[in-house]
Structure 1
Amino acid sequence: MILVTGATGQLGSQIVENLLTTIPSNEIAVLVRDEEKAKLLKEKGVQIRIGDYHQPESLVTALENVDKLVLISSSDFNNRIGQHKNAIDAAKRVGVKHILYTGVSINDIQTSPLKGLLEDHFQTEAYIKDNGFTYTMLQHSLYLDVIPMFIGEQVLETGVFFPAGEGKVAYASRTDLAEAIAKIVVSDAYDNQSLPLTNIENYSYADVAKILTELSGKEVSFVSPTPEVYEETLKGFQLPEPIIQMSLAFAAGIKNNDFDTTFSNLETILGRKPQTLKTYLQSVYIK
């Protein structure tokens, strides 16, 4: 039995949909907090297990008879390592053999401006290994899907305004990552491996502006403001403070070239080239 956590989220739901094309639905279970949100999966024959990272006993019950656990990192940053440990402890208690964990591909977490935000990924990986599981570390690049969060919906009119300097990122799409993860889950070729899953090209925000100019026929400018000016601008839009601080942190990490290293794993596992920045931007901004 394979269990996927976070199965109603954007990544988890796509992993499950890909698994359903390769293995019987009765061999797949999902962990959800709200059964109603998993109604469509239940109709497809997927087992629904109710559990919450903050409630350890619920996880013990939910993980019964599971062999492989796809542990999707929590999107709740409130003691995220504690949440992950609850899931890993429950998995050990009921005899789960293999944990696949969605972490991050980053050049050096110790020197990254994002250390405070992302170090718990590496603490989670260490905890899985220390507890003796067969493991596969699915180390994701940043998602192509976050670019619109940083540059906005009106970028063709406003230009790209983001304090990332000349920093580049080997962005990958959630769709490609979900397809690759589903292939990894049903194989034993990746046991006890750490797999950086990135695009085969990297891009700066100047590249984003250049491609949008090419696609739209409009001149799309790129400005990398100081963090202080960027923060004041976002405050002017009355964005929540946590969103502002997270945007600033990721801009600093990108400027530091934390995510610029490319790896071929994703392309190899997919058996094709990953989605490009140009194709992604076209799908989002060119109607």
Structure 2
Amino acid sequence: MILITGATGHFGKLTIDFLLKKGVKTSQMAAFVRNAEKAADLSKMGIKVLIGDYNDYDSLVNAFTGIDKLLFVSGTDLPNRTKQHERVLKAATAAGIQHIIYTSGEGKIEGPESPLWTFAEAHIKTEKWLKESGLTYTILKNSLYMEYIPYFIGNVLETGTIYLPAGKGKISVALRSEMAEATATILATEGYENKSYHFVNTEAYGYEDVARYITEITGKTINYISPTEEEFRETLKQQGKAIPEEYISILLAQAQGVGEVISDDMEKLIGRKLTPMKAFLQEVYQVS
């Protein structure tokens, strides 16, 4: 039995879709969710729905009992994520989970001084705990989803400018759907035990690249300006805009070259070339 946590989220749903395409039956899957109503469609498909929460140890043990493979999607509650993950691993051990596939994060994180430490701390500790636990594990070191790029750059066709404090740093973003497809491959087959995989693209991209691609696609000149952190924050304040602090951290980390790790791990798992940035942007900004 395969249990997918975060099953009503984008990544979880995509992973379930790819498992079905790979021939895994709904009777071989279960979904761990906090809200039964949001999982009604999964239940109708014949997937067993288990209600629980990373903050509730007993619900975790109950859900994990009888499970062979657990897709452990990392939590989104950043202040409490480290404690939540520790609780998940303790429950998995108590329930006798045979194999945990964990969605970690990618990046050259040196320590608490990194702009990405708020994101990375739980991942670093969870990876360490997994390796020391005696549990069979597979670690997926996920990069930023390529789908986030249009959100980061805003309405560039209107402004003509990408204004972000990312410097000349690059990041090897990849499509969430292709990460989910690669994850489904690992869940549906064997041979990935006690290994780590880099879920990144085979090329890293900077916002200069993004500006150039959109210019080529649309015919409208898009410029990239990289302000200092202080200038960026002051501009947001003047415009009355609010960007989550964690997203600013990603941009600052990119400026430091934290996200430039590249790998062909995902291509090997899905059996084809990954979608490049320009092809993705072509879909987003295609001219009718």
The two structures have a TM-score, normalised by structure 2, of: 0.95
SS of alignment partner, residue 20 of structure 1: helix
1-structure distance, mates of 2:281, 2:76? 25
- Residue matched to 2:14: 14
Contact 1:162/1:230 (<8 A) preserved: yes
Displacement of 1:115 after TM fit?
1.8
- Residue matched to 1:276: 276
Contact 1:114/1:249 (<8 A) preserved: yes
Given the superposition, is the C-alpha separation of residues 230 and 63 from structure 1 closer, same or farther in structure 2, using an over 3 Å criterion? Answer: same
- Residue matched to 1:165: 167
Q: Is 1:89 the equivalent of 2:87?
A: no
Contact 1:109/1:119 (<8 A) preserved: no
- Residue matched to 2:48: 47
SS of alignment partner, residue 15 of structure 1: helix
Instruction: Flag structure 2 segments of 5+ consecutive residues without an equivalent.
Output: none
Displacement of 1:234 after TM fit?
2.1
- Residue matched to 1:233: 235
- Residue matched to 1:180: 182
Q: Is 1:79 the equivalent of 2:80?
A: yes
1-structure distance, mates of 2:79, 2:259? 24
Equivalent residues in 2 for 1:237-256 (5 A)? 237-240=239-242, 243-256=243-256
Contact 1:51/1:58 (<8 A) preserved: yes
Percentage of matched positions with identical amino acids:
39
Q: Which residue identity lines up with residue 82 of structure 2 in the other structure?
A: I
2-structure distance, mates of 1:236, 1:20? 49
Equivalent residues in 2 for 1:1-287 (5 A)? 1-21=1-21, 22-110=23-111, 112-152=114-154, 154-158=155-159, 159-240=161-242, 243-286=243-286
SS of alignment partner, residue 222 of structure 1: strand
1-structure distance, mates of 2:6, 2:173? 22
Q: Which residue identity lines up with residue 90 of structure 1 in the other structure?
A: A
Displacement of 1:216 after TM fit?
0.5
SS of alignment partner, residue 141 of structure 2: strand
Contact 1:31/1:51 (<8 A) preserved: yes
Give per-residue Cα distances to partners, 1:30-87, cap 9 Å, x unaligned: 1000011011111111110000011111111111210111000011112101111111
2-structure distance, mates of 1:56, 1:90? 6
Instruction: Flag structure 1 segments of 5+ consecutive residues without an equivalent.
Output: none
Q: Which residue identity lines up with residue 76 of structure 1 in the other structure?
A: D
Alignment length (residue pairs): 284
Displacement of 1:235 after TM fit?
2.6
> Over aligned residue pairs, what C-alpha RMSD do you find?
1.3
SS of alignment partner, residue 78 of structure 1: helix
Displacement of 1:145 after TM fit?
1.4
